[in-house]
């Protein structure tokens, strides 16, 4: 897509290019960031049958694909927050991005408690209602019953989901790499 961008803009009279540059001055490692994240994540996910949470920016398509692969390689489905389903639905339309759509067999949509706190149909309004009754939408209890079969794309701001899942106390392993990835196996 970078080359597509260059091709489309090479005849434009641009005055500026604004881009994200986190760690732009850092020395390059022999191993690329996604390779490193994948390797570190595989170490954690492959050694536990407990609940695993991955905290990453869902709009980072490379990171999304990395965690989809880590999940698949460990017979786990990627659990996506309802807010992120909108991104996935949109991003999956671009074949160059190579991300699955919301109906993919390896995607589970997390249904948060709302309104009554009882997962009633009337609790879900507007666009959320579209996802509430899907075959691949699971609530916290369903995820908790299947914790060895899921990798949850959830982080700090999903703490209430973790409370609802009520994982058993136990082992916590966290990987916080140089590339700002966080993965926790509980």
Q: Is residue 143 part of a domain?
A: yes
**Is 97 domain-assigned?**
yes
Q: What value, to the nearest 5°, has the Cα angle with vertex 8 and ends 4 and 14? A: 125
Question: What CATH number does the domain containing 52 carry?
Answer: 3.40.50
In a domain, 19, yes or no: no
In a domain, 157, yes or no: yes
The answer as to whether 133 is a domain residue is: yes
Q: Which domain holds residue 70?
A: 34-185
Task: Judge whether 42 lies within some domain.
Answer: yes
21 in a domain, yes or no? no
SS3 of residue 62 by DSSP: helix
8 Å CB contact between 82 and 111: yes
Is the Cβ–Cβ distance between 135 and 111 less than 8 Å?
no
Written as tens digits, the pLDDT of the chain (186 aa) is 788 888 989 899 888 888 777 766 766 555 567 899 999 999 999 999 999 999 999 989 999 999 999 999 999 999 999 999 999 999 999 999 999 999 999 999 999 999 999 999 999 999 899 999 899 999 999 999 999 999 999 988 888 898 899 887 765 555 555 444 556 555
- Per the structure, how many domains does the chain have? 1
Lookup result for tokens 């507007």: 126
167 assigned to some structural domain: yes
Count of C-beta atoms within a 10 Å radius of residue 28:
8
Number of H helices, E strands in the chain: 7, 7
pTM score above 0.85: no
């Amino acid at each position: 897509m970078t080359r597509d961008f260059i091709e489309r803009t090479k005849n434009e009279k641009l005055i500026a290019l604004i881009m994200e540059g986190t760690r732009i001055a850092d020395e390059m490692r022999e191993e690329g960031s996604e390779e490193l994240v994948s390797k570190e994540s595989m170490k954690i996910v492959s050694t536990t049958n407990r609940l695993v949470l991955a905290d990453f920016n869902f709009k980072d398509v490379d990171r999304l694909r990395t965690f989809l692969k880590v999940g698949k390689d460990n017979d786990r489905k990627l659990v996506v927050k309802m807010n992120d389903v909108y991104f996935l639905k949109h991003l999956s339309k671009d074949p160059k991005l190579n991300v699955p759509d919301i109906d993919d067999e390896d995607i589970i949509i997390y249904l948060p408690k709302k309104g009554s706190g009882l997962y009633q149909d009337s609790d879900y309004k507007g666009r959320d209602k579209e996802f509430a009754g899907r075959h691949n939408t699971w609530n916290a209890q369903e995820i908790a019953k299947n914790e060895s079969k899921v990798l949850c794309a959830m982080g700090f701001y999903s703490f209430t989901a973790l409370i609802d899942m009520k994982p058993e106390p136990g082992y916590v392993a966290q990987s916080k790499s140089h590339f700002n990835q966080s993965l926790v196996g509980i």
